[in-house]
């Protein structure tokens, strides 16, 4: 099925051609002044240059050709040569009646593209904090949108489990528990089945270890030496780990096991799901092969003990440093694991695209990695590598979001605060029991959080404003849900006593009804744009506009009254709206409660 606007455009293109002009000038866009017209075409202004003719005359010729088309209710020229269009009620109604039977709302599907989406990116032994919110929320939505369009999609959490932070945690554990069998070279028994530590222990250990590597400016010589020693040991531990040295590797496995279990629970609370739980460490087995490939191609060389590949390109306006493939001593670093992971994904999935949902401050890293991957031919030359860099969630002071006492806020705490806020708001509703209110506020709270995040352009920073996000009015998740719940309750009321006879929408009699139909017809266009541009924000805006129109309709039209044919038509319309809202929020990654 074609998008409504495209069908319309084809008619205008044809008219341009019939008047002897190139059809490229027949482009139709949605009007942003609905008080003037529904659609517009500005092509005559552009055509004027090529044909050396006044735009107004060109537009008039084109309009003349369309005058008798039954698709248009109004088509007119406005100075200096705009073509303003209103479509006929019949045209829009017929189109919407077709959507009723379209499972995908008339979207044009992709055919079996394989897409790997790398999102989440939590680090082992560190708690999930607000910084992990955006990749999870955005990645989940982008993944769902790609799945909707029929792609084979693989979401990979890509755990940070192989870097220096692991060496630091191990060093601190060794300092606290030198007696543990993991650190005894001569130990040849079985390591403990049950972990000797909890997630909370780990969460306290990492910052402690990390602080031991830092010294203040006026530190004594002794303190400096101590810090250096600690860091050096952590580095050694990391190298041992990467060699899978007995004891170290076993301890690491336990740390990963405990952390992953906790991470899974946390992501579940966010309704975020991964197909793969691989980590940086899983790429280690490809490192040797990858480096050999680079050697064969003659692109890798030694520089200050490290192994690097040049990635500067002649068109660069700034200097791009060589990509470090291995650190001194052959130790893997962040670039190593990302490169080897590309190789792994190529071998395992032969993807058409890999999308990275990562903090935009890591852009340079990915420029280096992508270029190096192409140069070393570890990725198919036609595969796309996409960096979807996101901005920071800031506090009201414009700085990265912190707790009241300046610490990094844990994700759990943030979610609790939002749920609590929604619960407070719901307290005004007397009819719902307290226990249910709690459950509903969890659903609505998550929607508030996700909608607030996704309604921004991905690359932009945004300000976390709990009062604004949880408001039941305005561009918020709760407002969208409130509207959907309203639609559902009307439908339930109808379904309790009757059923529809004919599954079709009648031509609108009120202006507001036509506006709803126009909005419905736009859905497939919005979905396609949000897919092609990886932009869930387009769905957010659309749902907000649709909710606004529906709520005006609800004020004006007695939905459950009137002649039976009209009543049926209203119910069919509401059922379609419900389907669109449910589909939209599902693509954004949240659900609606039954009541609120």
Q: Which residues bind ligand ARG (CB under 6 A)?
A: 118, 121, 123, 158, 160, 338, 356, 358
CB of 449 to ligand ARG, least distance (A): 20
CB of 358 to ligand ARG, least distance (A): 4
Closest to ligand ARG by CB, 356 or 479: 356
Calpha distance 589→452 (Å, rounded) = 12
CB of 357 to ligand ARG, least distance (A): 8
CB of 49 to ligand ARG, least distance (A): 47
Closest to ligand ARG by CB, 134 or 158: 158
100, 504 Cβ separation under 8 angstroms: yes
The tokens describing 439, both together, are 């459950």
163, 334 Cβ separation under 8 angstroms: yes
CB of 163 to ligand ARG, least distance (A): 8
121, 337 Cβ separation under 8 angstroms: no
CB of 117 to ligand ARG, least distance (A): 11
CB of 119 to ligand ARG, least distance (A): 8
Closest to ligand ARG by CB, 19 or 379: 379
Closest to ligand ARG by CB, 410 or 425: 410
Q: Which residues pair with 115 in a beta bridge?
A: 153, 353
Closest to ligand ARG by CB, 148 or 356: 356
The position carrying tokens 């991964």 is 274
Provide the terminal-to-terminal Cα distance of the chain, rounded to the nearest Å: 36
Closest to ligand ARG by CB, 160 or 593: 160
Closest to ligand ARG by CB, 358 or 443: 358
DSSP state letter for 288: H
CB of 388 to ligand ARG, least distance (A): 11
The tokens describing 401, both together, are 């979001």
DSSP string, 422-446: HHHHHTT--SS-HHHHHHHHHHHHH
256, 279 Cβ separation under 8 angstroms: yes
Closest to ligand ARG by CB, 230 or 356: 356
Closest to ligand ARG by CB, 61 or 338: 338
DSSP string, 489-511: HHHHHHHHH---S---PPPPSSH
User: Which parts of 182-270 fold into alpha helices (H)?
Assistant: 199-212, 221-242, 248-269
Closest to ligand ARG by CB, 38 or 338: 338
Return the number of other C-beta atoms located less than 10 Å from residue 36's C-beta: 13
CB of 369 to ligand ARG, least distance (A): 8
493, 505 Cβ separation under 8 angstroms: no
Residue 346, CB-side half-sphere exposure with 13 Å CA sphere: 20
The tokens describing 336, both together, are 């190593």
Calpha distance 475→395 (Å, rounded) = 19
Q: Which residue is nearest to ligand ARG (CB)?
A: 121
H or E element in which residue 461 lies:
none
CB of 552 to ligand ARG, least distance (A): 44
Cα 330 to Cα 336, 342, 398, 421, 432, distances in angstroms: 10, 19, 41, 51, 62
């Amino acid at each position: 099925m074609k998008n409504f606007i495209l069908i319309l455009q084809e008619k205008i293109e044809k008219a341009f051609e019939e008047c002897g002009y190139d059809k490229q000038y027949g482009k139709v866009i949605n009007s942003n002044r609905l008080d003037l017209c529904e659609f517009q075409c500005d092509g005559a202004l552009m055509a004027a240059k090529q044909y050396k003719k006044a735009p107004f005359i060109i537009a008039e010729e084109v309009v003349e050709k369309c005058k008798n088309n039954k698709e248009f209710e109004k088509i007119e020229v406005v100075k200096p040569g705009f073509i303003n269009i209103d479509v006929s009620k019949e045209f829009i109604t017929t189109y919407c009646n077709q959507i009723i039977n379209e499972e995908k709302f008339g979207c044009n599907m992709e055919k079996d593209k394989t897409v790997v989406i790398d999102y989440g990116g939590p680090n082992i032994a560190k708690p999930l904090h607000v910084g992990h919110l955006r990749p999870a929320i955005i990645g989940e939505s982008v993944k769902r949108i790609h799945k909707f369009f029929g792609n084979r999609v693989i979401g990979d959490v890509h755990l940070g489990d192989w870097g220096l932070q692991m060496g630091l945690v191990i060093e601190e554990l060794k300092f606290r528990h030198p007696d543990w069998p993991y650190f005894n070279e001569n130990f040849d028994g079985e390591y403990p089945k049950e972990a000797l530590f909890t997630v909370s222990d780990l969460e306290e250990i990492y910052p402690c270890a990390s602080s031991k590597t830092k010294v203040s400016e006026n530190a004594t010589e002794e303190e400096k030496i101590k810090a250096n020693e600690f860091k050096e040991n952590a580095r050694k531990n990391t190298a041992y780990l990467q060699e899978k040295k007995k004891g170290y590797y076993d301890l690491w496995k336990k740390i990963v096991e405990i952390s992953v279990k906790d991470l899974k629970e946390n992501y579940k609370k966010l309704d975020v799901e991964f197909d793969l739980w691989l980590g940086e460490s899983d790429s280690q087995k490809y490192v040797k092969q990858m480096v050999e490939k680079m050697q064969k191609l003659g692109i890798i060389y030694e520089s200050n003990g490290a192994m690097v590949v040049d990635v500067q390109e002649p068109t660069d306006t700034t200097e791009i440093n060589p990509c470090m493939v291995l650190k001194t001593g052959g130790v893997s670093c962040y670039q190593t694991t990302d490169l080897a992971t590309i190789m792994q994904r190529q071998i395992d999935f032969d993807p058409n695209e890999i999308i990275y949902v990562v903090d935009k401050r890591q852009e340079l890293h990915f420029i280096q990695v992508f270029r190096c991957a192409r140069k070393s031919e570890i990725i198919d030359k036609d595969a796309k590598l996409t960096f979807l860099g996101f901005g920071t969630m800031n506090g009201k002071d414009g700085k990265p979001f912190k707790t009241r006492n300046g610490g990094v806020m844990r994700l759990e705490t943030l979610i609790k605060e939002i749920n609590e806020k929604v619960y407070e708001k719901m307290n005004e509703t007397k009819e719902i029991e307290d226990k249910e209110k709690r459950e509903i506020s969890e659903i609505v709270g998550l929607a508030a959080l996700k909608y607030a995040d996704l309604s921004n352009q991905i690359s932009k920073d945004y300000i976390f404003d709990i009062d604004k996000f949880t408001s039941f009015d305005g561009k918020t998740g709760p407002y969208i849900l409130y509207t959907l719940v309203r639609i559902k309750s009307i439908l339930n009321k109808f379904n309790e006593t009757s059923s529809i006879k004919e599954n079709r929408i009648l031509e609108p009699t009120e202006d507001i009804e036509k506006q709803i139909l126009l909005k419905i017809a736009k859905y497939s266009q919005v979905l396609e744009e949000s897919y092609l541009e990886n932009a869930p924000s387009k769905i957010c805006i659309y749902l907000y506009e649709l909710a606004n129109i529906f709520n005006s309709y609800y004020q004006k039209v007695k939905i459950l009254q009137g002649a039976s044919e009209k009543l049926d038509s209203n119910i069919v319309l509401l059922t379609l709206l419900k389907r669109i809202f449910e589909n939209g929020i599902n693509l954004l990654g949240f659900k609606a409660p039954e009541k609120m």
